[in-house]
Amino acid sequence: MQELRGSCFCGQVTYTVSGKPILSAYCHCTLCQRLTASPFVHTVHFEPSAFTWTHTESENSRLETYSPPSKPYKTRYRCKSCGSGVSSLNSKTNTCSVWGATFERTPDGKIKAWDIIKPTAHTFYETRMLDINDELSKWDGYEEKSNRMG
């Protein structure tokens, strides 16, 4: 199994994931939009057992957590130092999500192992802030588990 590495912006929070993602998509949900101040986020879902924090200090000393009141089953993790969102744990679906932009990059700025984690769809597209004209499928919820919009 291939191991993928990633980190927050400042590098003080690091992680690895192994295996193939359960889902890799551009998420247009209003929660992701508001948490990142961005129209959408590249989210990559794994089994929780595939994810490991690898920074040397204890998890609690480097990370802040946040669970939105509307979705208390989703715990988001971000670096206390630079504020970058890194991952989340969804206890309802038993998945761990990593934001694609946090994966390790090549010297020319490309995400390593892109062929493994590249998005296959747009999810929660109904609440999009802008139209995306690409070949990926568009869903009003999760890919293959909701209504296809395009």
Q: Over 80: is that where the pLDDT of 59 sits?
A: no
Q: Over 70: is that where the pLDDT of 95 sits?
A: yes
pLDDT, averaged across the chain: 93
Q: Are 41 and 26 within 8 A, CB to CB?
A: yes
Domain ranges of the chain: 3-138
d(CA 104, CA 28): 23
The domain over range 3-138 is classified in CATH as 3.40.50.720: no
Q: What is the largest CA-CA distance in the chain?
A: 45
This prediction's pTM: 0.90
Question: Looking at residues 66-75, what average pLDDT do you find?
Answer: 92
Helix residue ranges per DSSP H, the chain: 30-36, 59-62, 114-117
Using a pLDDT cut of 70, give the percent of the chain over it: 97
Note the pLDDT of residue 61: 84
d(CA 127, CA 129): 7
Q: Over 70: is that where the pLDDT of 117 sits?
A: yes
- Residue 1 confidence class, pLDDT cut points 50, 70, 90: low
Q: Over 80: is that where the pLDDT of 7 sits?
A: yes
Give the model confidence (pLDDT) of 12-40 as tens digits.
999 999 989 999 999 999 999 998 899 99
Could you identify the residue written with the tokens 């992680």? Answer: 15
